Amino acid sequence: MNILDDLKWRGAINQETDHDGLYELVNDKSVGIYVGIDPTGDSMHIGHLIPFMILKRFQLAGHKPVIVIGGGTGSIGDPSGKNSERVLQTMDQVHHNEQALTKQLTGLFGSDGKFDIVNNYEWLSQLSLLDFLRDYGKLFNVNTMLNKEVVASRLEVGISFTEFTYQILQSIDFLHLYQNNEVQVQLGGADQWGNITAGIDLIHKVEGPNAGVYGLTIPLMLKADGTKFGKTAGGAVWLDADKTTPYEFYQFWLNQDDRDVIKYLKYFTFLTQEEIEDLEEQVKTQPEKRAAQRRLAEEVTAFVHGESAVAEAEHISAALFSGDVANLTAAEIEQGFKNMPTVDVTSEPANIVEWLVDVTGIEPSRRQAREDVSNGAIRINGEKVTDTDATINPADHFDGRFVIVRRGKKKYFLARVK
């Protein structure tokens, strides 16, 4: 199957500059295709993941991915579409972000040499102002640039010359990659259409109208309720395990709406059409089993964090659901209890009633604490405690770092030993 047919089935094609030409190109030979990302932060989030999942599909189909880290473009910032200019970062921060993103992307695309990561700072930083104006500025029509959607949306509130010229710099990237890296296709989100077509126009002016270059964009992804994909109450879902733990990452995918899960399976997994259609049928006939959500969580977590992270996330999930937390490791507790109510305690042993009231504040009064303990409503590290004379020793479990308290059926607290 031609990869474009597969992408169409997955709903992953928004616009193409020349469908027939691109279809023939990718059908006949291995093609260089690139996606760019500016180092505006030191981690990608799952919104960034969308074009890279499509790029990964091209890699698996035998094509050559080229990833551009925008060390040059990222130092000035692209027009965001918002009513404000981006805040310029220091070059030290840009370089730090470049290193972090390179590490993440290498993890996704492998270390076998079947893809390239390049930095546009290498060639953009060599341009003098006069070279920029003479060699490239003369080839861009201001009226055409003003009509690009991302620029036009900013005209009422204003846009700096710096951000206005971003599309020229990105066009230079495409030209450089065409000339030096055998890249013929640029892939990006729907908001990149103007920049992509500007790059194709530049290549045709420099290399001639028959230069075989193409653009492909991906639709803007919205949830079934019309809101933007990838945002949660806690903010963005990051690929960096220190920002969003693998357990949180797994839970994000596990909790997707039935109306969205098949679309996400098509975009974010490498399952076959037959496998996805089978899961779609299960959503219709056995939605309570959430088989599609579970498979989605497994596949995406494994792709980003590895199989061991999936096993760890599932172990944490099962322990929290059953209340059997005694077998969790300290590292798993760090993940699973990250957003649960947390108090700091000392390592000193104490009577359970006093500890629940005076040390942790989990219980509002000693009377309530004694009542809850006596009634079997308190579990410490997974074990029910009914003796009001029992002693809590924070050093007993989890390397002496944590005490897990469950009050009632679902209310968890984490006591962190300092």
CA angle, 20 as apex, 14 and 23 as ends, to 5°?
Answer: 80
Q: Would 329 be classed as within a structural domain?
A: no
Q: Is 409 a catalytic residue?
A: no
Known binding residue 166? Answer is yes
Same-domain check for residues 213 and 239 = no
Q: Would 173 be classed as within a structural domain?
A: yes
Q: Would 334 be classed as within a structural domain?
A: no
Q: What is the pLDDT of residue 84?
A: 60
Same-domain check for residues 78 and 157 = yes
The active-site residue out of 15, 40, 59, 165 is 40
CA angle, 16 as apex, 168 and 166 as ends, to 5°?
Answer: 15
CB contact at 8 A, 328 and 398: yes
Q: What is the pLDDT of residue 329?
A: 92
Q: Is 294 a catalytic residue?
A: no
Domain housing 367: 342-417
**Residue pLDDT tens, the chain, 418 long:** 899 999 999 999 999 999 999 999 999 889 999 999 999 899 999 989 999 999 999 999 999 999 999 999 888 776 655 556 667 788 889 999 999 999 999 999 986 668 999 999 999 999 999 999 999 999 999 888 888 777 777 777 788 888 888 899 999 999 999 999 999 999 999 989 989 999 999 999 999 999 999 999 999 888 888 888 876 666 789 999 999 999 999 999 999 999 999 999 999 999 999 999 999 999 999 999 999 999 999 999 999 999 999 999 999 999 988 888 988 999 999 999 988 899 999 999 999 999 999 999 999 999 999 999 999 999 999 999 999 999 999 998 999 999 999 999 889 999 999 8
The active-site residue out of 6, 18, 116, 191 is 191
Known binding residue 412? Answer is no
Q: Would 224 be classed as within a structural domain?
A: no
Same-domain check for residues 51 and 131 = yes
The active-site residue out of 10, 63, 86, 406 is 86
Q: Is 244 a catalytic residue?
A: no
Q: What is the pLDDT of residue 249?
A: 95
Q: Is 64 a catalytic residue?
A: no
Count of domains for the chain: 3
Same-domain check for residues 129 and 262 = no
The active-site residue out of 162, 179, 232, 286 is 232
Which residue reads 């920049």 in tokens? 195
The first and second tokens of residue 273, run together, are 């059409």
Residue 275 CB contacts under 8 Å (≥ 6 apart), including other chains = none
The active-site residue out of 8, 82, 114, 289 is 82
Q: What is the pLDDT of residue 80?
A: 59
Q: Would 270 be classed as within a structural domain?
A: yes
Same-domain check for residues 78 and 166 = yes
Going through 154-197 in order, the beta strands assigned E by DSSP cover: 183-189
pLDDT in tens, 234-262: 678 999 999 999 999 999 999 999 999 99
Same-domain check for residues 17 and 161 = yes
Q: Would 248 be classed as within a structural domain?
A: yes
Q: What is the pLDDT of residue 330?
A: 92
Q: Would 395 be classed as within a structural domain?
A: yes
Q: Is 223 a catalytic residue?
A: no
- Nearest in space to 41 (alpha carbons), one of 84, 99, 122, 118: 99
CATH number, domain of 278, equals: 1.10.240.10
CB contact at 8 A, 249 and 44: no
Same-domain check for residues 205 and 255 = no
Known binding residue 231? Answer is yes
Same-domain check for residues 268 and 300 = yes
Q: Which residues of 98-118 are buried (b: 16+ CB within 10 A; e: fewer)?
A: bebbeebbeebbeeeeebbeb
CATH number, domain of 372, equals: 3.10.290.10
Which of 322, 355, 378 is where one domain is finished?
A: 322
Q: Would 328 be classed as within a structural domain?
A: no
Q: Is 18 a catalytic residue?
A: no
Same-domain check for residues 134 and 248 = no
Q: Is 45 a catalytic residue?
A: yes
The active-site residue out of 73, 167, 170, 256 is 170
CATH number, domain of 57, equals: 3.40.50.620
Same-domain check for residues 190 and 95 = yes
- Nearest in space to 24 (alpha carbons), one of 1, 2, 7: 2
Same-domain check for residues 167 and 122 = yes
Same-domain check for residues 253 and 190 = no
CA-based end-to-end distance of the chain? 58
Q: Is 86 a catalytic residue?
A: yes
Known binding residue 264? Answer is no
Q: Is 191 a catalytic residue?
A: yes
Q: Is 286 a catalytic residue?
A: no
The active-site residue out of 6, 19, 45, 370 is 45
